Amino acid sequence: MLAPKFIRENTLAVKEMLKNRCHNENLLEEWLEIDNKYREVLQKTEVLKAERNSFKPQGKPLPEDLEKMKRISEGIKTLDDNLRQLEESLNEKSLYLPNMLSADFLVGENETFNKEIKIWGKIPEFAFPAKAHEELGREVLDFARGAKLSGSRFTVYRGWATKLERALINFMLDIHGSRGWEEVQVPLLVNAQTMTGTGQLPKFAEDLYVCEKDGLYLIPTAEVPVTNIYRDEILEEDKLPLRFVAYTPCFRREAGSYGKDVSGLIRQHQFNKVELVMYCKPEDSQNRLEELTKEAELILELLELPYRRVQLCSGDTGFSSAKTYDLEVWFPSQNKYREISSCSSFSDFQARRAKIRYRNNESKPEFVHTLNGSGLAVGRTLAAIIENRQQENGSIIIPEVLKDYLKAGIINYVEDERRY
């Protein structure tokens, strides 16, 4: 959330930000209109309150004095009610204003304007036509029965796919945990205040699964509950930075994405993800974004998966993010890189919404900066391993770092026997 004072004092900068994000610029005009009314009413209220406070009759008040005080009190009550309504409207409108972009943002309308920052690993060359992961795992990734149980974009994992998925989750948690990230388990259902704290509500309500009877939402990512752990709290400065890692299933309706990635594991309504979340001091957030991104990259490198890092342009940067790097892994069947992690710095945008501050000994408490990134999306990682390490006979060579988890070095799938 942007601070009202910041919006008033930096109207042109906010307008330019909306333009660069290809966002509705009328939103700012609507906010300013409500804010002007709010300040007009506030000024009238202060004048009446000052008049009331300065009224000091000599002796017993006359009837006309009492009538005047009654009119003033009624006027103040009416104005206070109006103020509350305007403040609610202002706060609601503020929730739809996106975050300011970082100082080094890239101007662009869509993903074609994103900038490639880094390429790692060698793209595999095959002496045979590369198969897609859904074909390679056709006996263990049961999309048809997933659809029967729940609808499209749900999958039943079987056999070696279940073991590989579980191995990847444990591997990711172990690596991040060994490097100082505290592992946490969080609820998969959260309330509206928690969703609002990270920016999912109210703007992205249509993408969320909601349990209306209980007023709870299935989380779209562990970012939501983990970032809100310290909602409405003040942290001590010497505790920062805080680093958390969490594995959770994630749930997304993928509203508006019809026709995109309808086959395979790329775009599912339910999927597993290991998430990295960080709280830090404002002056550290740029360096912490680099640290967090490298932490996610480490998993790809240990798995020997070719990838690239891309900085997102203004039009492709998420609503709450000030700056985002996407990590994209190579998919041989598609002959291109596909997103497997987004690592973002949110400046104090989420912290303002969730009221997460830290105590600076030299001043009053100020808002922390929050960051998060996938470390990694598990299903997409599984798909990338299957595709990049496939052999002509259909077997899959297991990455060295996963052999102890799987107790196997190669997946030799036999169609009529559910084993590997």
Long-range CB pairs of 147-150 (<8 Å, 24+ gap) are 150/269, 150/270
Contacts of 71 (CB under 8 A, 6+ apart): none
Which has the closest alpha carbon to 394: 377, 414, 369? 414
Q: At 369, give phi and psi (nearest 5°).
A: -105, 140
State how far the Cα of 50 lies from the Cα of 72, in Å rounded to an integer. Answer: 10
Amino acid at 151: G
Token readout for 262 is 């309808």
Strand residue runs (E) in 212-322:
216-218, 233-236, 242-251, 270-280, 307-311
State how far the Cα of 420 lies from the Cα of 410, in Å rounded to an integer. Answer: 8
State how far the Cα of 385 lies from the Cα of 212, in Å rounded to an integer. Answer: 39
Pairing state of beta strands 307-311 and 323-331?
Answer: antiparallel
Which has the closest alpha carbon to 271: 385, 389, 150? 150
Contacts of 138 (CB under 8 A, 6+ apart): none
Which has the closest alpha carbon to 48: 11, 74, 87? 74
In terms of residues, how long is the chain?
A: 420
What are the catalytic residues? 252, 267, 339, 342, 380
Q: At 321, give phi and psi (nearest 5°).
A: -85, 145
State how far the Cα of 287 lies from the Cα of 382, in Å rounded to an integer. Answer: 30
State how far the Cα of 346 lies from the Cα of 328, in Å rounded to an integer. Answer: 21
